[in-house]
Amino acid sequence: DAKTTQPNSMESNEEEPVHLPCNHSTISGTDYIHWYRQLPSQGPEYVIHGLTSNVNNRMASLAIAEDRKSSTLILHRATLRDAAVYYCILRGLINYGQNFVFGPGTRLSVLP
């Protein structure tokens, strides 16, 4: 199964940009890169996903390396509400559930 690795924790100041990295060196050509975030005692929330090209939405931007072995979630202006655990995961063509593996993620702290 394709796996991802992320830093355990990161810290940011409020209203500054945040770049959350993710490595996925064993990604296959059909794997989509998904990002979710989870607040305490809540279910994960979808943030963004992509395949090859960079993606933007109202929440964040996703920058995907040309070789697709890494990606970066960009929060353009961090707010206190962005403090959460961020998960980078891969969703593949087969075995949907088993390919959607959630590691420990990156715990983002936002300082006022």
Kindly list the residues in this chain that would bind other proteins in the complex (CB under 8 A). 30-32, 34, 36, 41-46, 49, 51, 87, 91-93, 96-105
> Computed over its alpha carbons, how large is the radius of gyration of the chain?
13
CA angle 108, 48, 97 (to 5 degrees): 95
- Cβ proximity to other proteins: between 97 and 112 the closer is 97
The nearest distance, CB 33 to other proteins, in angstroms, is 11
The nearest distance, CB 31 to other proteins, in angstroms, is 7
- Cβ proximity to other proteins: between 68 and 91 the closer is 91
The answer to whether the CB of 60 falls within 8 A of the CB of 54 is: no
Q: Return the structure tokens found at 23.
A: 């490595």
- Cβ proximity to other proteins: between 37 and 78 the closer is 37
The answer to whether the CB of 66 falls within 8 A of the CB of 13 is: no
The nearest distance, CB 42 to other proteins, in angstroms, is 6
The nearest distance, CB 27 to other proteins, in angstroms, is 12
- Cβ proximity to other proteins: between 43 and 112 the closer is 43
Q: Return the structure tokens found at 73.
A: 């979630």
> Closest Cα to residue 60, out of 20, 30, 100, 92?
20
